[in-house]
Structure 1
Amino acid sequence: MGLMRYFRTGAAAPAPVAARVEPPLVASAPAVQSESQWRGFSVGSGVSKAGVRVDERTALTIPATLQALRIISGVFAMAPLHMYGRTPEGRTRLDDHPAEILLAERPNAHQSPFALFELIMSDLLLAGNFYAYVSLNARGEPVALTRLRPGSVVVAEYFDRAEGQILFYDATLPDGSRERFAARNIWHIAGLSRDGLIGLNPVQYAREALGGALATSEHAHRFWSRGGKPSTVLTTEQKVSPEDKTRIRADWERLHAGLEGSATAVLDQDLKAAFLSHNFKDSQFLETRQFQVVDLARIWGVPPHLIFELSKATFSNIKQQSLEFVTYHLGPHFARVAGAATRQFGGNGTYFEHLTDALVRGDLKSRMEAYWLQRQMGMVNANDLLRRENQNNLPGEAGTEYWRPANMALAGQPVTPAQNQGASDAQ
């Protein structure tokens, strides 16, 4: 029984023209269905040692986490992804290729490219994996991407000695149907991985750090829910029965607990009130919360100043950290997503690459100085520079001409009289 027949779906999608014939699945059938092969079925969550549940929803209730994800996902989505083809002169952008139109213009009927890539990065950060169902037309070209929840996809692997590892995806589609799909039908981007198949779930592995931040925040909320009043102990030298203790406690909490507990206490039976004060300074409560913000910045990979932790910030180091953010924090994500797009949608001589020019633009003075140097060196013409500034081309040949300094010549060649005259005129 052939592998494609074994994994035949209820409603078969049109096969691409150059579809590869899958290898037969005979003796390896039980291995594909083995429990040890089913990974990533659910997004990890659980109770931390601090006693609070940590999952995607609770992690997003931490302000530092929400801001970190908003920053890294939004900035990542600002850099468009384009498809290029290699040519003898270098490369050219394939604006009419179906994959270019899909990822750079219209990924589906309801999302913009920015919204799609923001969602991709959010899934990678919170679940470690991004999955999308690839809708193909009759020619096998991609026409739409439908995001699949990370917990609704299971990766099954098959090993062939001739071709290596082959992946299949058991996915639940938005219409509720569950089928097994070949890799060409599921676009899978895995984050940091230990097996090369499934990305690690950051929320699961950072559970204790996230749980500590949640527990600290809950402690502060509980304190202020009591109106910021410390716990109270009522003491007396007289013997008090258990029934009286219950009644006295109920009366005290009714009058003095909660935000409105500001009534005047009148005590009898020689009762005295003692307050168990909370010294936040000695317990370093504020320092703990400040450290947790830095710890969260480490988890999500953003400089602390981007989530408004400015205690160690200066003008010079913020500028440097902002440049490092694009190189060291976003750079691996750009390479990961572009590589996954090339693997899924690219062919021979084609590849995808993010345009990050907008993220590394300097101030106006620095840009103009860099443009002037490039113009003098003959690297660009006027129209090239105008397009970088989102302006229209110059009319005629003025915008297409390249400059060359008059006092320069090729090394190893004699200087001609015309060149000498040009150099004299330039002086």
Structure 2
Amino acid sequence: MGFLSMLGGAGGASSKIRQEPRLLAAAESSSPADSFQTGGPWAEVSLSGPSRAGVLVNERTTLSLPAVMQAVRILSGVFAMVPLHYCSHDNGGTHKLLDDPLYSLMNGRPNDAQSRYAFREILMSDILMTGNFYAYVSRDQFMRPVALTRLDPFAVQVYQSFDQATGQTMFYDATLPDGTSQRFPSRDIWAVTGMSRNGLQGLNPVAYMREAFGESIATAAYVQNYWRNNGQPPVTLTTDKKVDPDVRAAIKADWKTYVAGVHNAGEPVVLGQGLKADYMPVNNKDGQLVETRTMQVLDIARAWGVPPHLIFELSKATFGNIEQQSLEFVIYHLGPHFARVADSAAHAFAASGCLFSHDPSDLVKGGFLDRAQGVSSLRNAGVISTDEARNNFNLNPVADGTGQDRWQPVNMGIAGQPAPAQPPGA
């Protein structure tokens, strides 16, 4: 299928163009302020809105939950800290291509508006909150990428075409930051897909887990309403006398004006006409309100794969293996995100024989004593030099240059060869 026919939306006899179904979590409300993301002309289907708990679930209301905010913040923030190296890989090993423009693009200035950290943070935040990240790729006259501009995930619609001879081809209907909308081939849009069921679009966590988030939002609303009423349970005013409807309405209005509410807490109540106030029992302890909120925090931790102690759910924390837990966080929770972004960048930009690779070594250094023993072992075994060992602790190289020498253990030799002769007096 030719390029012009692809942009025109028409395929050949052996190709078919299909629009991928959207699964959004934009706000279904009358005010654009109800959502941090504003959809473009390509946004079609939304699965957000009221949950079975009767509350609106969208990005804004979900992020209002402290556990959600912390989960997104810890994952996106730590992800943004880790450098993304552009490397060549051959029989001699892996070598960082520090002078390559792609290295500067990923580790220097992705664009004129955002720092490296800010760009990576919004990249991961988009994946966590919407399931997809999209960036427009600006290129120079030699078609080399020179800038990456983040696009609103809800303003990008994914299309695919399939040709039996050439395979699958992706292109995107996108609204750019200047408000213009256009169809772009895949070389102009860098797409990073979260967990997916079709490999083309990521699943939207807010939409798919709307009911779980709705429970947490509804519980938070209940607590807010309870304290707004000064922690007072519902009350019933009863009397043995006959009370006309207009009088009942007046008594109810007076009670709400002079007694109910936070500002009237502690006010004396004078009841006439034989009225008695009966408070309806509300026992949050028997209702296990605290336990319910704890379980909801654990559900949020499961939703994004964050260890509970990192979102400050410490009810079962022992702190006896915090270093091991931190290592598991890097391997099992951040590791898939590292691989997802690095492979997507390599697929979109890397030359043949090159790849992108995250370096999370700063996250797994451990305590000072463990680091010192490990670095010392590597230096004594001749794996690293003294200068390289000093670099692990941000120390300058040895001034006279002797720190570049690597040590060689005298009691070791090459496997299968005779041991070297010992010098006299050894």
Task: Calculate the TM-score normalised by the size of structure 1.
Answer: 0.91
2-structure distance, mates of 1:295, 1:38? 27
Deviation, structure 1 residue 391: 2.4
Q: Does 1:160 align with 2:163?
A: yes
Letter matched to residue 355 of structure 1: D
Moved more, 210-219 or 403-412: 403-412
Moved more, 80-89 or 216-225: 80-89
1-structure distance, mates of 2:354, 2:163? 27
* Structure 1 segment 215-294 matched on structure 2, within 5 A: 215-261=218-264, 262-294=266-298
Give 2:99's aligned residue.
Answer: 96
2-structure distance, mates of 1:415, 1:127? 62
Q: CA RMSD in A?
A: 1.9
Moved more, 306-315 or 319-328: 319-328
Give 1:26's aligned residue.
Answer: 12
2-structure distance, mates of 1:366, 1:258? 58
Cα 1:24–1:404 shift into 2, 3 Å: farther
* C-alpha distance after superposition, 1:203-226 (max 9, x if no partner): 111111110000000000001011
Give 2:423's aligned residue.
Answer: 421
SS at match of 1:319: helix
* C-alpha distance after superposition, 1:239-283 (max 9, x if no partner): 222111111100111111111123211111111000113111100
Check the 8 A contact 2:7/2:185 in 1, yes or no.
no
Give 1:352's aligned residue.
Answer: 356
* C-alpha distance after superposition, 1:52-110 (max 9, x if no partner): 01111110000010011111110111101010012332121111222111111010002
* Aligned with 2:398 (options 386, 390, 394): 394
Aligned residue pairs: how many? 405
1-structure distance, mates of 2:358, 2:90? 19
Q: Does 1:141 align with 2:127?
A: no
SS at match of 1:336: helix
* Aligned with 2:379 (options 363, 375, 392): 375
Aligned-pair identity (%): 47
Task: Calculate the TM-score normalised by the size of structure 2.
Answer: 0.91
* Aligned with 2:22 (options 29, 39, 46): 39
Give 1:192's aligned residue.
Answer: 195
Deviation, structure 1 residue 28: 6.3
2-structure distance, mates of 1:24, 1:221? 55
1-structure distance, mates of 2:174, 2:247? 62
Give 1:16's aligned residue.
Answer: none
Check the 8 A contact 2:412/2:419 in 1, yes or no.
no
* Aligned with 1:327 (options 311, 317, 331): 331
Q: Which runs of 5+ in 1 are unaligned?
A: 10-22
Give 1:410's aligned residue.
Answer: 414
Give 2:75's aligned residue.
Answer: 72
Letter matched to residue 6 of structure 1: S
SS at match of 1:246: helix
2-structure distance, mates of 1:77, 1:290? 29
Q: Which runs of 5+ in 2 are unaligned?
A: 24-42
Deviation, structure 1 residue 291: 1.1
Give 1:5's aligned residue.
Answer: 4
Check the 8 A contact 2:135/2:191 in 1, yes or no.
yes
1-structure distance, mates of 2:163, 2:7? 19
1-structure distance, mates of 2:11, 2:251? 76
Moved more, 211-220 or 357-366: 357-366
**Runs of 4+, deviation exceeding 3 Å:** 6-9, 36-44
Letter matched to residue 338 of structure 2: F
